[in-house]
Amino acid sequence: MSVGKNMQLVPDRLMPGDTIGVVAPAGPFDRKEFDNGVAILKAMGFHIVVPDDIHIKNGYLAGSDSHRADLINRFFIDRNIKAIICARGGFGSIRILSLLDFESIKKNLKIFIGFSDVSAILSVLYTKCGFVVFHGPMVTSLGDASRKTRKALFDAVSSDAGLAIKPKTGKTIRHGLASGPVMGGNLTTLCHLIGTPFEPVFKRHILFLEDKGEACYRIDRMLSHMKLAGCFDDLAGLVLGSFKDCGPVGKIIGVVDNIFKEYNIPVLAGFEVGHGKNNVTIPIGLNATLDTGRQLLLFHEPATSVEDRA
């Protein structure tokens, strides 16, 4: 691993034949969708380790809290595992945050991938351990994921180039140019971390948000809550991903425009990130520039580094 310009720890790059471990920190999952996703990861050239006890079900959770946290803790200390990807979101990630062994994780940093409910873990790994994590597709969503989604994931964890992410149909809400580490994920999940010991810090960051199945008034309520809590003070910029099944895009943009009208920051919507057809992988914790003129989120360096494997 290497250290970025602002002291972010950048995990080791994945190479052909490297081993990815699968964890289930949230809800249970469909076996067929899971197997299809594993096949995609194998086709990318990686060896996949699936724990024997990953298919445990406990109602709407994939096993007990201790069980789900233990899978993550085990794979972080396993030197043979080069990356960790989550099986599915749903609900449950917030319940295991206090059970994660952050001291051990800090000593064994590696690629960690997930989105949706897993945004809670992404946020905490970045804020508590200071290393770059990846907001990207999970195993159960990879089987029928678009080619763009799969390629973006592979490039993020395996490329030596800085990522350049451009919305297919971008909508500029506030013009401008800003730089800073990128932070964010699922709006509902991040909002529920406010007021906890795991509250995220967005100051001087480019924040990106996405969600699914939330009515427009609920998006308004969550953004208003975060605004009142001071979450957007000294924010560098804002990026909006997909808001699937949340109502007309124009209404959501109107809510965001109103909430952020007093902030002099660039705001760009339309990124293919989240629960939509395409889910482009975003490195969290990595420095980038948001340029609304070019409608571009440009990362300053690769999201991974090459380790000495000699």
pLDDT digits (tens, 9 = 90+) for 237-260: 999 999 999 999 999 999 999 999
Residue 156 predicted with pLDDT over 60: yes
Question: For residue 291, which amino acid is it?
Answer: D
- Per residue, the 3-state secondary structure of 125-160, as one string, reads HHHHHCECEEECCCHHHHCCCCHHHHHHHHHHHHCC
Domain membership of residue 304 (yes or no) is no
Which tens digit of pLDDT belongs to each residue from 160-187? 999 999 998 999 999 999 999 999 999 9
**Domain annotation covers residue 257:** yes
Alpha-carbon distance of 225 to 240, in angstroms, equals: 18
Please state, in angstroms and rounded to a whole number, the distance separating the CA atoms of residues 308 and 151. Answer: 25
Choose the catalytic residue: 210, 214, 272, 301: 210
Asked whether the predicted pLDDT for residue 27 surpasses 60, the reply is yes
The rounded percent of the chain whose pLDDT value lies above 90 is: 95
Are 261 and 118 in the same domain? Answer: no
- Reply yes or no on whether the pLDDT at 273 is more than 50: yes
Which secondary structure element, helix H or strand E, spans residue 66, and what is its range?
Answer: helix 65-77
Query: How would residue 310 be classed by pLDDT, with cut points 50, 70 and 90?
Result: very low
> Do 219 and 279 lie in a common domain?
yes
The pLDDT value given to residue 2: 47
Give tens-digit pLDDT for 203-233. 999 999 999 999 999 999 999 999 999 999 9
Look up 210 and say whether it is catalytic: yes
The residue out of 116, 135, 158 marking a domain boundary is: 158
CA 263 to chain centre: 25
Q: Where are the alpha helices (DSSP H) in 1-52?
A: 31-43
pLDDT digits over 79-104, tens only?
999 999 999 999 999 999 999 999 99
Which of 22, 10, 25, 290 is CA-nearest to residue 133?
Answer: 10
* pTM given for the model: 0.95
Q: What does the alpha-carbon distance between residue 153 and residue 137 come to, in Å, rounded to a whole number? A: 7
Q: What does each C-alpha distance from 146 to 131, 139, 277 come to in angstroms? A: 28, 13, 7
The single residue of 33, 67, 93, 116 carrying the catalytic annotation is 116
How does pLDDT run across 139-154, given as a tens digit for each residue?
999 999 999 999 999 9
Q: Are residues 150 and 236 in the same domain?
A: no
Q: What is the distance between the alpha carbons of residues 26 and 120, in angstroms, rounded to a whole number?
A: 10
Give dist(CA 37, CA 101) in Å, integer.
28
Same domain, 79 and 169: no
Count of Cβ atoms closer than 10 Å to residue 33 Cβ: 18
- Same-domain status, 119 and 225: no
Flag whether pLDDT at 307 surpasses 90. no
**Residue 59 burial (CB count, 10 A):** 8
Q: Do the Cβ atoms of 268 and 241 come closer than 8 Å?
A: no
DSSP conformational letter for 2: E
| Three-state secondary-structure class, residue 123 | helix
Residue 14's pLDDT is 97
pLDDT of residue 3: 43
Which of 240, 263, 293, 286 shows the shortest CA–CA distance to 122? 286
Return the H-helix or E-strand segment holding 65. helix 65-77
192 has catalytic annotation: no
pLDDT of residue 308: 55
Name the one residue in this structure whose structure tokens are 């993020």: 156
pLDDT tens-digit map of 48-80: 999 999 999 999 999 999 999 999 999 999 999
Q: Is 275 a catalytic residue?
A: yes
Is 39 inside any structural domain?
yes
The reply to whether 72 falls in a domain is yes
Which range marks the domain in which residue 218 is found?
164-299
User: Please, where are the H alpha helices in 181-242?
Assistant: 187-191, 216-228
Q: Is 4's pLDDT higher than 60?
A: no
One of 67, 135, 205, 275 is an active-site residue; which one? Answer: 275
Residue 12 DSSP SS3? strand
Q: Which of 158, 185, 215 is the last residue of a domain?
A: 158
- Same structural domain, 41 and 114: yes
Neighbours of 114 (CB within 10 A): 28
User: Residues 154, 168: one domain?
Assistant: no
Number of domains in the chain: 2
Q: Which of 94, 123, 158 is the last residue of a domain?
A: 158
